[in-house]
Amino acid sequence: MLSLITVMVVFVGISTLMQAIACDTVTHPFHSTLSRDITISEETKQVISDIIISFINSTIDFIARIVLVQSFGLTFRAVMLLWIIWAHVSDMCVMLMFCTCAVFIIPKFYDQNERLCDEAIEFTPRTPSRESSRRPLFHLMMTAGNRRRAPRIGVT
């Protein structure tokens, strides 16, 4: 690591010295990109802030439902998920390696099996409503099993 830093410092020093000797006033390679005006309109700022605030509020409401045990099943699943993470994935390096591998494997798997994945999605019993698609990802993960089952006929 030290050798890499040394090489970088030497290279910057030599290039600066060469520019000074040649009296060259080379501009930054990304000067045109950096000099652009990148202001955001007030309307766009308002829309973005509304989206962020609604996401934060829905996440806080969802966490409050878990912490205050307003839904026992939801709280139980959250506690069990935390226990599994604590008991079986105590080494964070293994978890980070798994997530890093998943980031690269899942898109490749989807590209190779796009038709099968799309068919599997079509066979799901219900599609999420517009309201549930705005909920936090953790909420969608924890409520995936809350589907109403059809009543059994003839069972007493």
Residue 154 has a pLDDT of: 52
- How far, in Å, are 53, 54, 135 from residue 138 at the CA level? 17, 15, 8
Long-range pairs for 121-127 at CB < 8 Å and ≥24 separation? Answer: none
Contact criterion met (CB below 8 Å) for 28 and 34: yes
Q: Which of 93, 75, 95, 76 is nearest to 85 (CA)?
A: 95
From 19-28, 34-43, 78-87, the region with the lowest mean pLDDT = 19-28
Residue 134: is its pLDDT beyond 60? no
User: If pLDDT is split at 50, 70 and 90, which confidence band does 113 have?
Assistant: confident
Q: Are 78 and 66 in contact (CB under 8 A)?
A: yes
Radius of gyration of the chain (CA): 27
Cα 152 to the center of its chain, rounded Å:
40
